[in-house]
Amino acid sequence: MSAPTVVITTYNRPQALSCVLAGLCAQSRLPLEVVVADDGSGPETARCVTSWSAHAPFPIRHVWQPDRGFRAAAARNRAIARSSGEYVIFLDGDCVVFSDFISRHSELAEPASFVVGNRILLDPMLSDKIIRGVTNPCLWSRSRWLSARIRGEVNRLLPLLRLPDGRWRKWRSRAWSGARSCNLAVWRADLLAVNGFDERFQGWGHEDADLVVRLFHRGCRRKEGHFAVPAVHLWHPENDRRREAANWARVQQALSDREAVRAMPGLDQYLTREAWAGLDLPLPAAK
């Protein structure tokens, strides 16, 4: 498999984004490219991307949309449309990764499957130290991690384990819960087939669950990335959840309707007709 694309979703956290980009630049296997899916950030984020683009060992594209509230689904769709890799790894702009993240994701990839990674949550004080460059948990020893767990700086240690690939990774092949787009890898062809993220999901919550449900309807299966591709999630205040109930209702609707495969509105509004060449899929609407 060729190197994957990494899509990073961000909103007004340029220092955290810088930590994520630093981790990707230190990968043992580099990504093909990074596309920053920017949900309306100010100019500091643009400066951050420009700075990293000047010396990163891979192209970095900055895909920005106007700030009209929480529209992560639309931001990711725009980024997917600008990507070129056959395999796409989604990360959040506050999820720092270890140096084997890309290589392990690549090893787990297989046709008609998507890989669900997990994360380790950090407390506010430790997150602030990482953002200020005081420490880097991806370089810590086991004893340093154990010390952080004892002090309550991190919520768990099990994701740090590394286990090989195997049939056990498919034991939850039809489980949609717990799949989050902060650490999720999907084939580009499958994203096109389900028309990406459903942009009716606005405000925090569950657009990733909806994507996974529609991937199931498409015929894809879940593969566990636990004990292989953890991400270190920097603390942030809880997002506004006033629209969560409406988003959850849409997930329930998708679960009950096996014909619900393609998002409307979705990815196709950002793609040219040429992008669909060779795929047995409905063509996007004419521009």
Domains of the chain: total: 1
Asked if the structure places residue 287 within a domain, the reply is no
Predicted TM-score of the model (pTM): 0.94
Asked if the structure places residue 286 within a domain, the reply is no
Q: Is omega for the bond preceding 57 within 30 degrees of 0, making it cis?
A: no
pLDDT of amino acid 239: 81
Range of the domain at 62: 5-276
Asked if the structure places residue 246 within a domain, the reply is yes
Asked if the structure places residue 214 within a domain, the reply is yes
pLDDT of amino acid 151: 97
Asked if the structure places residue 199 within a domain, the reply is yes
Q: What is the CATH number of the domain that holds 270?
A: 3.90.550.10
Kindly state the tokens that stand for 17.
């984004």
Asked if the structure places residue 285 within a domain, the reply is no
- Distance in angstroms between the alpha carbons of the first and the last residue of the chain: 32
pLDDT of amino acid 83: 96
Q: What residues in the chain have per-residue pLDDT under 70?
A: 272-287
Say how far apart CA 263 and CA 253 lie, in whole Å.
Answer: 13
pLDDT of amino acid 56: 98
pLDDT of amino acid 165: 95
Asked if the structure places residue 217 within a domain, the reply is yes
Assess contact for 207 and 247: CB atoms under 8 A: yes
Asked if the structure places residue 127 within a domain, the reply is yes
